[in-house]
Structure 1
Amino acid sequence: MEVSEARPAKKLFILSGQSNMAGRGGVDKHKRWDGIVPPECAPDAQKIFRLDANLRWEVARETLHHDIDTKKTCGVGPGMPFANAVKERVGAIGLVPCAVGGTAIKEWARGEHLYENMVKRAKAAVSGGDGGVITALLWYQGESDTSSQHDVDVYKQKMELLIHNVRADLDLPDLPVVQVALASGTQKKYVDEIRAIQLGIDLPNVVCVDAKGLQLKEDNLHLTTEAQVQLGHKLAQAFLTNFLTEKAHI
């Protein structure tokens, strides 16, 4: 992938969580990505950039998480359709991929590697750019917390603490967070309970979009390519509707 010669992006979006944020669209059961890039995920060398694993900016293109979620095969995720859907309203965009498949909420606690790496990458995205501003955190996680009642019981506290910690560590007390309510998980009973928690979180500048009903792959866990495009558009609509205001300084 080529490194962009353009000025670094202005509006920075953190993409974090687990596999459905990292993207498995187009990945078959043999763990091969089909390489199909929908037009909604097309690169834009003038407006959409990506912070790679070495903290360098490059033109963003699928697959966004290939050098971040390195233990699994990445495919299409919601990041590129989101960026293409909002770019005309917000201008140049910098995507900061941080999602890693199969990760539970406890692995995103302050002090844990995944959390600290996310904060490190977010700070690098600002310091390494030309006036870049962290504009929102897009979060899709929870499938790994649907295996027991204990996981359910602690999820709300851990998710709210994560939001508090990210805002504190980035010195952005009003950082917009767009969270996704699960479409799948390991046990349906607990999926419904985690979804209820996600949909019910009531914190300032936190909104939730619902992935339920989006098409799943044969594994009944990961979203298809088409569903990822639809999710990207849901995230974009939620962001534009709730946070594209003078108050949010977007």
Structure 2
Amino acid sequence: MRIFVLSGQSNMAGRGGVHHRRWDGVVPPEAAPDPSIQRLSAALDWEEAREPLHADIDTAKTCGVGPGMVFARTVLPCLQEDNPGKGARTGIGLVPCAVGGTAIREWARGEFLYEQMVCRARVAAGYGEIEAVLWYQGESDAESDAATAAYNGNIERLITNVRADLEMPQLPFIQVALASGDKRNIDKVRSAQFSVNLPNVVTVDAMGLALKEDNMHLTTESQVKLGKMLAEAYIENFLTPTC
């Protein structure tokens, strides 16, 4: 399998279709299950991936549609083209790790969420190659002037630590620049995201995607668009030959 780690906070975990703490159960065709796409459950078992991907990971809140399934379905044909004549059909393994409402300090080395993410990634790596980490986080840090000021250093440290702990110094990291957050600091956090100065880091801009009535979370339609944007970023920057 080609492995992708999905991490960050609620917009990666998925709130598309969630209203009044209930998910409407609507799965867009772009996010439909595919036998070639598996997910690593909270119990560390592989199972067919289906929305909501983070239901057993981000358990304190109701999860809905996120970008992960759309991403996987979009890149799958390209990965299969990249693996011609090798017998078994190429599969994708998704490793959900995102938890809503979390600040980047909770993803520091030694903290529970960070160690859980690394542990899950290591388990997944026993079944294939880790291709990239997809990261969407920062809304919580925009609430604090101090956290905003420290964001660039914290995100670069996170990327460096993940690469070191997985022994993959060039591991691709595709992050999403915020579409929402505290109005006073959102531009500062976005600037910190775009200022990351590390190799193999690509930033996808979610600004302008439609938000739900809470003005914080992406709608289902926006999650579909984001999944495709993330896929395009991976294909264009990290997959050779591109399709």
Q: TM-score, normalised by structure 1?
A: 0.91
In structure 2, the partner of 1:37 is: 27
Q: 1 CA distance for matches of 2:67 and 2:239?
A: 19
* Maintained 8 Å contact 2:152/2:195: no
Q: What does 1:1-250 align with in structure 2 at a 5 Å threshold?
A: 10-28=1-19, 30-45=20-35, 47-90=36-79, 91-127=90-126, 129=127, 132-185=128-181, 187-245=182-240
Amino acid at match of 2:97: C
Amino acid at match of 1:193: K
How far has the Cα of 1:149 moved from its partner?
Answer: 1.6
Amino acid at match of 2:95: V
After superposition, give the CA deviation of every residue in 1:50-107 in whole Å (9 maximum; x if it has no partner): 0000000000000100000000000000000000000001131000000000000000
Q: 1 CA distance for matches of 2:232 and 2:165?
A: 27
Q: 1 CA distance for matches of 2:59 and 2:145?
A: 30
Q: 2 CA distance for matches of 1:148 and 1:33?
A: 30
Q: TM-score, normalised by structure 2?
A: 0.94
Q: How many residues matched?
A: 231
Q: 2 CA distance for matches of 1:234 and 1:74?
A: 21
* Maintained 8 Å contact 2:179/2:207: yes
Runs of 4+ aligned residues of structure 1 deviating over 4 Å after TM superposition are none
Tell me, which stretches of 5 or more residues in structure 1 are unaligned? Answer: 1-9
After superposition, give the CA deviation of every residue in 1:130-173 in whole Å (9 maximum; x if it has no partner): xx001000000000001122111111111000000000000000
Amino acid at match of 1:119: V
Tell me, which stretches of 5 or more residues in structure 2 are unaligned? Answer: 80-89
**What secondary structure is seen at the aligned counterpart in 2 of 1:70?**
coil
Q: 1 CA distance for matches of 2:132 and 2:125?
A: 13
**What secondary structure is seen at the aligned counterpart in 1 of 2:18?**
coil
